[in-house]
Structure 1
Amino acid sequence: MAKVLCVLYDDPIDGYPKSYPRADLPRLERYPDGQTLPTPKAIDFKPGALLGSVSGELGLRKYLEANGHTLVVTSDKDGDNSRLDRELEDAEIVISQPFWPAYMTRERIERAKKLKMIVTAGIGSDHTDLQAAMDRKLTVAEVTYCNSISVAEHVVMMILGLVRNYIPSYQWVVKGGWNIADCAARSYDVEGMQVGTVAAGRIGLAVLRRMKPFDVKLHYTDRHRLPRAVEEEELGLTFHESAAAMVPHCDVVTINCPLHPETEHLFDAKMIGSMKRGAYLINTARGKICDRDAVANALKSGQLAGYAGDVWFPQPAPQDHPWRTMPHHGMTPHISGTSLSAQTRYAAGVREILECYFENRPIRDEYLIVSDGKLAGTGAHSYSAGNATTGSDEAAKFKQ
């Protein structure tokens, strides 16, 4: 029987919820491209429950223990003698989320002698050293598309929040003020702006579709050019061969590409310096795609009018991370893809992956990142071999 090690974020500070604002969720059957939602044989949770925290356990305990497996759930993942490190030695499967990632470095993978599969409850497997996973012939899987629309909605919210100066205006109300001039001094209309996405996969394309009704001019760059019916007829997009070629034209840039060695620190001081002065940058992809200090400096100098996102490196972010205190930012913890709606989908997707694994059935190709020693499925389309986990040990500072 297998030991399944699941790393999840902590429960709410006031305790695990006893009730929720809404009684149910909208019923969805397919994603926009026609892919079906997760199809496990059963689930042992109520849709809309908080499943991504420690007490939620992704709704897996009943299923795993009924089949003789052991489930260990913890939020303790960083620093010397973490629960993750203590439990790794005999774990067969490790599950974690991008929001509270178990950084599966080569060192950890080599120490986990019985490890066979690493699963992301969500999208994005860059917290795993993919090259080390390929060398060990591990399976790496994620629940593709489960929270893509959740993230796209978050991107649109952040674009509007920055351009309209929403957060500082809200704060004036909380402070008891009526400072209209202070609010308006950094507020603009998004109408007519040039908006570009770095990558137009599931999330990037969903952002473009949601921004089109705002009467903006849309741009994109991607490894894989979109079909003419989408690029020209549906959205009227301008295609650019690279991010470097696109960003000088844009008032707003949103980053929606995976993190791998080719995109690490893509937005450095040089790239940001090539953007329009006063542009806005949105990053809900991965924090390490942007150079930490280059972003903070650009906000201080005015090169960027605003930066928003929910991704940091490492995660959780140390308390002294400069993005917490830089001016004109709209940062949140990594929450865009872990709405209660998204949790229902990614918990069901993890259950589907585990059912396939234990029953020796093929895991959906779109869920696969690494298989049989090479990139596979979605991984072959989105990633390149290599390691982006370097420096993740800094996350231990958050708890100090």
Structure 2
Amino acid sequence: MKILCVLYDDPKTGMPKSYALDKLPKIDKYPDGMTLPSPKGRDFNEGELLGCVSGELGLRKFLESNGHQLVVTSDKDGDGCRADKELVDSDIVISQPFFPYYLTREKMETAPNLKMAITAGIGSDHVDLQAAMDRKVDVVEVTYCNSRSVAEHIVMMIVSMVRDYHTQYAIVNNGGWDIADAVQRSYDVEGMHIGTVAAGRIGLDALRKMKPFDVHLHYFDRHRLPDTVEKELNLTFHESVESMVEVCDVVTINCPLHPETEHLFDEKMINKMKKGAYIVNTARGKICDKDAIAAALKSGQLSGYAGDVWFPQPAPNDHPWRTMPHHGMTPHTSGTSLSAQTRYADGVREILECFFDKKEIRNQYLIVQNGELAGMGAHSYSKGTATDGSEEAAKYKKK
């Protein structure tokens, strides 16, 4: 079989010759009891850079020794890109949410052999899920592999944004010691009201990690948490996003992208928030209206916006979030720490081993199977497509 793997570019300075850590902390299970990916083999050392082109997710030896062809590229944008050319006779395509290959209906129609789309990470909305259902293309992802990584990133963003760390860091880098300038937008997190839109694996973990800061915790979710969890964290449940944002100083967005959540945070929703509130978005860029966010930061309706997700990705050079005031943007790195890369590379190999051996893939990894939403997909997504706008992304050419 032919496997197309679309990964981000190598470091500009070349692949690392050494790493800061020799070993990763040992983790056997996730908090819900689910075990980590457990492939039969591994052809890399844990903690290595695997998510880039030369890293190849550690798959080449395994695939080629079993008679399969592996094609790896970062050329995924614009008409005539290599990924599109290689897709036409591929059986499996692997992509990452951090550097998504937007698998539209049009692209699927050029690939009659396509059987499976694997997300090396979590979040498969870069695939037109309705088209995948219609064409019987299975979609799977490595559920939970980097959820903890993203939750840590959320905490980092909340604290650094409220304390205005970015301004203080810039002052030091520029040789200054301007204390008044450094603290004029700096506050304590303690006592604030923090709310999450969706309290799944990432959202709930972020709340747990924020509890020691002595904050008030809120959440909205389509599926209410058990009473024991609400009591443990002293959570306030809200029946709607609108009722939650009215009382929160910080809102963290952790819901999937689907038709109901696209542009959920538009001008109307932002104006319902407390004046001077903060938003952290590590979910998907299209959940927020990019122009409404930029305008709210300029007007002062929002005090800060920290996001790890953009639309499209990579973000165009003139994307307003690159230059808007009081932002804490990162280039979708929350889920691709070296720790997370080991887990999602292991998970991709486990999925491939199951597929080749005609064994069942873990139910938790399933998004679409046999033309229907399945596993986590049935829990997180709805029929219809949230990737209509991905044609814009697919035609973007990086400069």
Matched ranges for 1:250-399 at <5 A = 250-395=248-393, 396-399=395-398
Structure 2 match to 1:61: 60
* Structure 1 segments unaligned to the other structure (5+ residues): none
Does the aligned pair in 2 maintain the 1:50–1:340 contact within 8 Å? Answer: yes
Structure 2 match to 1:186: 185
The C-alpha deviation readout for 1:302-345, integer Å capped at 9, x for no partner, is 00000001100010000000000000000010000000000000
Distance 2:260 2:377 in 1: 14
Amino acid at match of 1:380: A
Structure 2 match to 1:169: 168
Distance 1:211 1:111 in 2: 46
* Structure 2 segments unaligned to the other structure (5+ residues): none
Does the aligned pair in 1 maintain the 2:9–2:52 contact within 8 Å? Answer: yes
Amino acid at match of 1:210: K
| Offset of residue 386 of structure 1 | 1.8
Does the aligned pair in 1 maintain the 2:279–2:304 contact within 8 Å? Answer: yes
Distance 2:242 2:91 in 1: 42
Distance 2:210 2:66 in 1: 47
Amino acid at match of 2:398: K
The C-alpha deviation readout for 1:47-81, integer Å capped at 9, x for no partner, is 00000000000000000000000000000011010
Distance 1:394 1:316 in 2: 12
Distance 2:304 2:217 in 1: 19
| Offset of residue 378 of structure 1 | 0.4
| Offset of residue 398 of structure 1 | 4.9
Distance 1:106 1:241 in 2: 35
TM-score of the superposed pair, with normalisation by structure 2: 0.99
Specify the SS of the correspondent of 1:385: coil
Specify the SS of the correspondent of 1:329: coil
The C-alpha deviation readout for 1:204-260, integer Å capped at 9, x for no partner, is 00000000000000000001100100012x100000011112100100000001111
Does the aligned pair in 1 maintain the 2:128–2:386 contact within 8 Å? Answer: yes
Does the aligned pair in 2 maintain the 1:319–1:398 contact within 8 Å? Answer: no
How many pairs were matched up?
Answer: 398
Does the aligned pair in 2 maintain the 1:319–1:397 contact within 8 Å? Answer: no
Distance 1:283 1:258 in 2: 11
Structure 2 match to 1:127: 126
Amino acid at match of 1:251: D
Q: What root-mean-square deviation, in Å, do the aligned CA atoms of Structure 1 and Structure 2 show?
A: 0.8
Distance 1:206 1:387 in 2: 28
Distance 2:361 2:261 in 1: 28
Specify the SS of the correspondent of 2:9: coil
Distance 1:361 1:217 in 2: 46
Distance 1:242 1:136 in 2: 35
Amino acid at match of 2:62: Y
Query: Segments of 4+ in structure 1 off by > 3 A?
Result: 393-398
Distance 1:305 1:386 in 2: 35
The C-alpha deviation readout for 1:71-102, integer Å capped at 9, x for no partner, is 00000011010011101111000000000001
| Offset of residue 393 of structure 1 | 3.9
The C-alpha deviation readout for 1:140-183, integer Å capped at 9, x for no partner, is 00000000000000000000011000001000000000011011
| Offset of residue 387 of structure 1 | 1.5
Does the aligned pair in 2 maintain the 1:318–1:394 contact within 8 Å? Answer: no
Distance 1:313 1:30 in 2: 33
| Offset of residue 392 of structure 1 | 2.7
Distance 1:110 1:96 in 2: 18
Distance 1:184 1:6 in 2: 46
Distance 1:86 1:351 in 2: 24
Distance 1:388 1:44 in 2: 36
Does the aligned pair in 2 maintain the 1:78–1:393 contact within 8 Å? Answer: no
| Offset of residue 397 of structure 1 | 3.9
Specify the SS of the correspondent of 2:328: strand
Amino acid at match of 1:53: C
TM-score of the superposed pair, with normalisation by structure 1: 0.99
Percent identity between matched residues is 72
Amino acid at match of 1:331: M
